[in-house]
């Protein structure tokens, strides 16, 4: 078995495995695989105590076959050029899998956000945005960032404000970034979109009696034992929706360690405990595990790594007990580990499909910003009235008095439409990659997802031709 390399090499390895199953020519495959542009920048930060620190940052645009390019911005000490390029490539394939008409990009700033005050984080974010503007690495039709590990709505608000300050009245300036607060033209349903998408994807995978039988599991999510690693934006919301959908959270992990209880953990009580004590450890009734990676090996049906890459490796893959791995994080499974899991018949729901809910709803936010109107604003009341009169008609025909019946939600508002669009996207994409998997005669959804993506991108390149 080959040894593990950097993150980008791992993405390339999976790409090559999938590419061999397509009939695309080598030159086209090479063009799809390469990262088109990488911008590396350093800039000074004046710290609150007056000292000066040099900050390193990147933005990679993997493919411009569709514009704008799209991808989150990560604040982490682990950020490297290799990581940003790998994540940008995954974004290209992810957008393609869920039919979001963007190329892939990713940004990273090498900092530990816990080490900086809110003012310092604002200065870093604004200066980083300025550097992107200077080199035309941001803009509604060019490259549109979003939140990722270590960033959230506040950073996105600083980005849009900086962009607007410098864009001299550009009409669609709000569409330069997604994941913004609602008051800054963000969209309802973006905050939990990735976690919600993870839930829809896992639920869909579990609904197939045939697939579950192969894994020795019963169909449906109910009572499935789940372990989640990382309780940030993606992990927390995925865990919450899975629990609401009937699954039992038997293990939870954060960077400080993990906790387990085969009878189930109440997520919100755990979060409250962490807020009060600074740690998930010591939660009443649960067993403490000293290392976050211990959680990965717990006895469970579904394992959801939702923190960072390279968590399931050749070293621990053979000890994973879960029958299903739902990759909520990007790149949590190394390529070597992936091969071990495949041999062991573990079902891996790959990152480029499973965590695509974030970019899907980001796409909806971008559309909202370009149209300058909230989804549902024009039709909600109209639909409500139409549905009510239909109901009254049925009441008259059946002799049932419905006039005093209080029926809420007869018309869809923005959040309903976002949830519906996200659910439709995740369900349709799941069946697309599952069908490709079947047609290839393989048991490997990651390869099937890459094949799906490569084929769609190849068509796009072939139709566009080569300039000049």
Site residues (vs ligand NAD, CB under 6 A): 72, 147-150, 194, 229-235, 253-255, 292, 306-308, 328-330, 355, 358
Residue among 366 and 458 whose Cβ is closer to ligand NAD: 366
How many CB atoms neighbour CB 92 within 10 A?
A: 31
**Which residue among 106, 180, 368, 380 is the active-site one?**
106
Task: Assess contact for 19 and 453: CB atoms under 8 A.
Answer: no
Shortest CB 262 distance to ligand NAD, Å: 20
Shortest CB 275 distance to ligand NAD, Å: 12
Residue 43 phi, psi (nearest 5) = -150, 155
Residue 106: active-site member:
yes
Residue among 96 and 380 whose Cβ is closer to ligand NAD: 96
Shortest CB 124 distance to ligand NAD, Å: 16
Task: Assess contact for 63 and 103: CB atoms under 8 A.
Answer: yes
Residue among 235 and 376 whose Cβ is closer to ligand NAD: 235
Shortest CB 355 distance to ligand NAD, Å: 4
Sheet holding 248-254, edge to edge: 287-289, 257-260, 248-254, 225-229, 302-305, 324-326, 347-349
CA atoms within 13 A on the CB side of 204: 21
User: Distance between CA 183 and CA 160 in Å, rounded?
Assistant: 12
By beta-carbon distance, which residue lies closest to ligand NAD? 232
* Neighbour-count burial for 151-160, b at 16+ CB within 10 Å, e otherwise: bbbebbbbbb
Locus of tokens 């490259």: 143
Shortest CB 334 distance to ligand NAD, Å: 14
Residue among 63 and 76 whose Cβ is closer to ligand NAD: 76
User: Distance between CA 25 and CA 19 in Å, rounded?
Assistant: 9
Shortest CB 392 distance to ligand NAD, Å: 43
Active site residues: 106
């Amino acid at each position: 078995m080959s040894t593990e390399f950097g993150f980008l090499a791992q993405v390339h390895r999976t790409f090559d495995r999938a590419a061999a199953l397509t009939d695309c020519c080598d030159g086209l495959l090479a063009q799809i695989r390469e990262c088109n542009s990488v911008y590396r920048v350093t800039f000074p930060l004046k710290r609150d105590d007056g000292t000066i620190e040099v900050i390193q940052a990147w933005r990679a645009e993997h493919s411009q076959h569709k514009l704008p390019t799209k991808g989150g911005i990560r604040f982490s000490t682990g950020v490297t050029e290799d990581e940003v390029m790998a994540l940008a490539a995954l974004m290209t394939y992810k957008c393609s899998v869920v039919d979001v008409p963007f190329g892939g990009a990713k940004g990273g700033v090498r900092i530990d956000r816990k080490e900086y005050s809110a003012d310092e984080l604002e200065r870093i974010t604004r200066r980083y945005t300025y550097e992107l503007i200077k080199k035309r690495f941001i803009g509604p039709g060019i490259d549109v960032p979003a939140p990722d590990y270590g960033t959230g709505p506040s950073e996105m608000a600083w980005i849009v404000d900086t962009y607007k300050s410098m864009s001299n009245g550009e009409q669609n300036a709000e569409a330069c970034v997604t994941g913004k607060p609602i008051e800054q033209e963000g969209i309802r349903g973006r905050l939990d979109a990735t976690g919600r998408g993870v839930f829809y994807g896992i639920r869909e995978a579990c609904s197939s009696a045939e697939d579950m039988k192969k894994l020795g599991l019963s169909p449906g999510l109910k009572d499935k034992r789940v372990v989640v690693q990382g309780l940030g934006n993606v992990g927390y919301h995925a865990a919450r929706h899975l629990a609401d959908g009937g699954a039992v959270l038997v293990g939870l992990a954060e960077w400080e360690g993990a906790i387990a209880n085969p009878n189930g953990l109440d997520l919100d009580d755990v979060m409250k405990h962490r807020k009060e004590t600074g740690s998930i450890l010591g939660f009443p009734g649960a067993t403490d595990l000293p290392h976050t990676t211990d959680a990965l090996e717990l006895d469970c049906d579904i394992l959801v790594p939702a923190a960072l890459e390279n968590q399931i490796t050749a070293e621990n893959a053979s000890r994973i007990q879960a029958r299903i791995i739902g990759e909520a994080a990007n790149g949590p499974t190394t390529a070597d580990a992936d091969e071990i899991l495949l041999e062991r018949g573990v079902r891996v729901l790959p990152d480029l499909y499973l965590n695509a809910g974030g970019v899907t709803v980001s796409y909806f936010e971008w559309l909202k910003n370009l149209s300058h109107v909230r989804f549902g604003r024009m039709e909600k009341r109209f639909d409500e009235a139409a549905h009510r009169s239909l109901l009254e008609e049925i009441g008259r025909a059946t002799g049932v008095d419905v006039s005093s019946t209080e029926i809420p939600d007869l018309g869809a508002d923005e959040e309903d439409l976002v949830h519906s669009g996200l659910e439709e996207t995740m369900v349709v994409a799941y069946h697309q990659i599952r069908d490709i998997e079947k047609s290839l005669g393989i048991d490997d959804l990651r390869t099937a997802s890459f094949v799906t993506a490569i084929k769609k991108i190849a068509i796009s390149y072939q139709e566009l031709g080569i300039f000049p």
